[in-house]
Amino acid sequence: MTNVLSVASECVPLVKTGGLADVAGALPGAMAGLGHDMRTLLPGYPAVRAAVDRDAAVLDLGQVFGGPARVLRGALGKQVLYVLDAPHLFDRPGSIYLGPDGTDWPDNPERFAALSDTAARIGAEGIEGWQPEILHLHDWQAGLAPVYLQQRGAAGRVATLLTIHNIAFQGLAPATRLDRLGLPEDGFTPSGFEYYGRISALKAGLVYADGLSTVSSTYADELTTQEFGMGLDGVLRDRQAALTGILNGIDLGVWTPPYRAPRGKAKHTRALRAEIGLPDSDGPLFVVISRLTEQKGLDLLIDALPDLVSAGGQLALLGSGDAAMEKAFRDAATRHAGVAVRIGYDEDLARKLIAGGDVILVPSRFEPCGLTQLYGLRFGTLPLVSLTGGLADTVIPASPAGLAAGVATGFQFHPVTAQALRRALQSVFALWPERKIWEGMMRNAMAHPVGWDQSARDYAALYESLKKTP
């Protein structure tokens, strides 16, 4: 058994902005199933503090970046949750990362340095008589923990693993914050955590953590290239021997389709069309649940949308993001009776889209792992994805070989262009009338392993390889 402290900035069901929260919420239970004790450390945002008894303090941290702080104990399902209760840093309304003006909170460097240092203190001293052997750190918000652990003299006995969920976010701070963050001056070099004259919390983790992981094998390879490495590809090439890719999973208990066989989907498709105002149709219903950004490739869909509609398809989209992209999809819905658009996010509608859709579109330019296509597989909603990151690793394309072998679970396209997306749409429409083949692909998709079993075993093996002899 391994004792692991998972350190994250968000976690379902308490607080979520992206896929990191799903991973942080599901992994402790999956590891417990293998006999490991994974506990979670989260910042004390209002939603998190509301789920924890405020009298359940287990560690007094004293003054932390201008205010009192302590660690509270709660529960994350059946596992232990620790909450960094520092109201001056985390008790704020709205987004956990952004202020009312839509930009980063100006003290984000201090907020997440506090999270990292608290993790390092627990690693060095233990908590409630429990001693973590591994600090599993998620993204830049926990990236400074290996540096602080080293400063506390515990790096020789407590191992650190940094998981990169999205390298595009790096936790940058001006060099003038060096003293305030309590970081060593000798680490502010190109071989340390200096990044073009600034402090990079993510780079600190990449350089100082014992092990590195990311959320798919393909993304692990992509990160070492200039195209995908976001300026950190050199660091990752230097540390490639320490970098591994482990796919995310989804909680199968939470994501269970309301039908057992492909033909059970039809009534949910009819209900979805009725709810979102689409007319009845014999063509495929494509669905999108996404942030509307260029990273997600939704501009390509705007270009290809006339082809989708003219071929007899329909589109139901749920998402928000770039204002121009929101307007473009709204305009498309006005022009085409077969397009329905909801701007925003609605968890109940998202589930109905996945249950009722025939094809789920994920045309991302880069995608570390992706969860949407996993939900699609689970529900027999065939993914149409770009050939990148975790999308490449989880979808078996309906190529001649895949169809001949009877293993295809969806559609892929490459390069990531509107023209290639149009060709993939043509493949969808060519197969749609072949009901026996289509339903066979749905059965393949629904049987594809998308849970945490294998990934949890992979993490357990990685933890074992990183553990240090006392």
In sequence order, which residues have a C-beta less than 8 Å from that of residue 136 and are 6 or more positions away? Answer: 4, 5, 6, 7, 38, 161, 163, 463
Check: CB of residue 319 under 8 Å from CB of residue 288: yes
* Whether residue 347 sits in one domain with residue 238: no
- Give the residues across from 7 on adjacent strands: 41, 137
* Whether residue 428 sits in one domain with residue 400: yes
Note whether residue 424 is domain-resident.
Answer: yes
| Residue 327 labeled ligand binder | no
Note whether residue 385 is domain-resident.
Answer: yes
Would you state the pLDDT for residue 27? 95
* Whether residue 270 sits in one domain with residue 151: no
* Whether residue 294 sits in one domain with residue 185: no
Note whether residue 254 is domain-resident.
Answer: no
Nearest to 79 by CA among 146, 170, 11, 167: 11
Phi-psi region of 214 (alpha: psi -120 to 50; beta: other; left: phi over 0): beta
Residue 71 has which token pair? 């660690």
Domains held by the chain: number: 2
* Whether residue 194 sits in one domain with residue 75: yes
Would you state the pLDDT for residue 253? 87
Nearest to 109 by CA among 65, 62, 68, 67: 65
Note whether residue 302 is domain-resident.
Answer: yes
Note whether residue 132 is domain-resident.
Answer: yes
* Whether residue 71 sits in one domain with residue 51: yes
* Whether residue 137 sits in one domain with residue 229: yes
* Whether residue 277 sits in one domain with residue 224: no
Note whether residue 24 is domain-resident.
Answer: yes
Note whether residue 257 is domain-resident.
Answer: no
Q: CATH code at 370?
A: 3.40.50.2000
* Whether residue 461 sits in one domain with residue 383: no
Note whether residue 383 is domain-resident.
Answer: yes
pLDDT tens-place values along the chain, 470 residues long: 899 999 999 999 999 988 899 899 999 999 999 999 999 999 999 999 999 988 899 999 999 999 999 999 999 999 999 999 999 999 998 889 999 888 999 999 999 999 999 999 999 999 999 999 999 999 999 999 999 999 999 999 999 999 999 999 999 999 999 999 999 999 999 999 999 999 999 999 999 999 999 999 999 999 999 999 999 999 999 999 999 999 999 989 889 999 999 999 999 999 999 999 999 999 999 999 999 999 999 999 999 999 999 999 999 999 999 999 999 999 999 999 999 999 998 989 999 999 999 999 999 999 999 999 999 999 999 999 999 999 999 999 999 999 999 999 999 999 999 999 999 999 999 999 999 999 999 999 999 999 999 999 999 999 999 999 76
* Whether residue 283 sits in one domain with residue 226: no
* Whether residue 397 sits in one domain with residue 335: yes
Would you state the pLDDT for residue 102? 84
- Please give the torsion angle defined by the CA atoms of residues 418, 424, 428 and 431, in that order, rounded to the nearest 10 degrees: 150
* Whether residue 233 sits in one domain with residue 380: no
Q: Look up the domain containing 314 and give its range.
A: 262-447
* Helices 435-447 and 418-431, axial angle in degrees (round to 10): 110
